[in-house]
Chains A and B, each alone.
Chain A
Amino acid sequence: MDVTEHNVSPTAAAGVEPRPVVVVDDLHVKYRVFISGKAIKRAAQQRIAARGRGIRTVHALRGVSFVARENESIGVIGPNGSGKSTLMRALTGLTPPAAGAVYASTRPNLLGVGAALIPDLSGDRNITLGCLALGLTRKEVEEVRDEIIDYSTLRRAIDLPMRTYSSGMQAKLKFAIATVREHEILIVDEALAVGDKAFRRRSEARIREIRDNAGTVFLVSHSMTSIRDTCSRTLWLQDGLLVMDGPTDEVVAAYEESTPEEERPRRRGR
Chain B
Amino acid sequence: MSLPELAAASGLHRVGARPPLRQYLVEAWRRKDFIFTMAKFRLRAGLERSRLGVVWLVLQPALNALIYGLIFGILQGDKRPPDYAAHVVIGVFLFQFFAGSFTQGARSITGNQALVQSLAFPRLTLPVAEVIEQFMSLLPSLGLLVVILPVMGHWPTWHWLLMIPLLVLFTLFNTGIALIAARLTVHLRDLTQLLPFISRILFYTSGVLFDVNRIFDQAPWAVVLYDFHPLYQVLQMARDAMMGGHDYNHLYWLYFSIWAVVTLVFGLLFFWVAEERYGRD
What string of 1s and 0s marks CB contacts (under 8 Å) between A112-139 and chain B?
A: 1111101011000100110011110110
Contacts A19-B10, A20-B10, A65-B3 given: A93-B118 contact, CB under 8 Å? no
Q: Is A104 an interface residue (CB 8 A)?
A: yes
Residues of A within 8 A of B118 (CB): 94, 110, 112-116
Is A20 a contact of B12 with CB atoms below 8 Å?
A: yes
Q: Does A78 contact B (CB under 8 A)?
A: no
Q: Do A23 and B41 touch (CB < 8 A)?
A: no
Tell me which residues across on chain B come within 8 A of A113, comparing CB atoms.
118-119
A8 is an interface residue with CB less than 8 A from chain B: no
| Closest Cβ–Cβ distance, residue A178 to chain B (whole Å) | 9
Tell me if A62 counts as interface (CB < 8 A to partner B): no
Q: Does A32 contact B (CB under 8 A)?
A: yes
Picked from A26, A93, A115, A135, the residue with its CB within 8 Å of the CB of B15 is A93
B128 to A: closest C-beta gap in Å:
14
Q: In this complex, what residue of A is CB-closest to B118?
A: A112
Question: Once the chains bind, are B121 and A135 in contact (CB under 8 Å)?
Answer: yes
* Cα–Cα distance between A129 and B116 once the two chains are bound (Å): 15
| Mask: chain B, 104-132; 1 = CB below 8 Å from A; 0 = not | 00000000101111111100000000000
A103 touches B119 (CB 8 A): no
Assess whether B281 is in contact with A129, with CB atoms less than 8 Å apart. Answer: no
Q: A161 to B77: give the CA distance in the assembly, Å.
A: 51
Q: How far is the CA of A33 from the CA of B280 in the complex (A)?
A: 11
Instruction: Verify if B258 is at the interface (C-beta below 8 Å from A).
Output: no
Q: Known A92-B16, A101-B14; judge A67-B119 contact (CB<8 A).
A: no
Q: Which residues of B contact A171 (CB under 8 A)?
A: none
| Least Cβ–Cβ distance between A131 and chain B, in angstroms | 9
Write the B3-36 contact mask toward A (1 if CB under 8 angstroms, else 0): 1101110111111110000000000001101100
Size of the A side of the interface (Cβ < 8 Å), in residues, is 47
| A108–B117 alpha-carbon span in the complex (Å) | 13
Cβ contact within 8 Å between A20 and B7: yes
Write the nearest CB–CB distance from A147 to chain B, whole angstroms. Answer: 19
Q: Which residues of A contact B45 (CB under 8 A)?
A: 118, 120-121
User: B10 to chain A: which residues have CB within 8 Å?
Assistant: 19-21, 23, 105
Does B42 make an interface contact (CB < 8 A)? yes
**Chain A residues in 8 Å Cβ range of B49:** 120
Q: A113 to B114, alpha carbons, bound, how many Å?
A: 10
Select A135's contact among B2, B12, B17, B31, beta carbons within 8 Å. B31
Residues of chain B within 8 A (CB-CB) of A116 are: 38, 115, 118-119
Interface size grouping (class) on chain B? 35 or more
Give every chain A residue within 8 A of B200 (Cβ-Cβ): none
Q: Contact: A135 with B41, CB < 8 Å?
A: no
Q: Which residue of A lies closest to B44 (CB)?
A: A121
Is there a chain B Cβ closer than 8 Å to A91's Cβ? yes
CB distance from B50 to the nearest CB of A (A): 11
A21 near B12 with CB under 8 A, answer: yes
* Residues on A with beta carbons closer than 8 Å to the beta carbon of B37: 128-129, 132
Q: What A residues does B11 contact at CB under 8 A?
A: 105
By the criterion CB–CB under 8 Å, are B16 and A96 in contact? yes
A31 contacts B by Cβ under 8 Å: yes
Please judge, given known A-B contacts A93-B15, A101-B4, A104-B12, whether A118 and B120 are in contact too, CB under 8 Å. Answer: no
Query: Is A157 engaged at the interface, CB distance under 8 Å to the other chain?
Result: no
Q: How far is the CA of A161 from the CA of B41 in the complex (A)?
A: 12
The verdict on A32 contacting B281 (CB below 8 Å), with A20-B7, A107-B15 known, is yes
The B-contacting residues of A in range 1-60, CB under 8 angstroms, are: 19-26, 31-33
Q: In the complex, A76 Cα to B33 Cα: how many Å?
A: 35
Contact call B12/A23, Cβ cutoff below 8 A: yes
Q: How far is the CB of A84 from chain B (nearest CB, A)?
A: 15
User: Which residues of the partner chain B approach A134 to less than 8 Å between Cβ atoms?
Assistant: 119
**Shortest beta-carbon distance from A88 to chain B in Å:** 10
* A38 to B183 Cα, complex, angstroms: 32
Q: Verify if A109 is at the interface (C-beta below 8 Å from B).
A: yes
Contact B41 A118 (CB under 8 A): yes
Residues of B within 8 A of A125 (CB): 41
Q: Is A200 an interface residue (CB 8 A)?
A: no
- Subset of 8 A-B contacts with CB under 8 Å: A19-B10, A20-B7, A65-B3, A93-B17, A105-B11, A110-B119, A112-B119, A129-B38
Known: A67-B6, A110-B119. 12 other contacts (CB 8 A): A21-B10, A25-B2, A94-B116, A95-B279, A101-B4, A103-B7, A112-B118, A115-B115, A120-B45, A128-B41, A129-B34, A132-B33
Closest 6 CB pairs of A and B: A93-B16, A103-B7, A112-B118, A115-B114, A103-B12, A25-B3
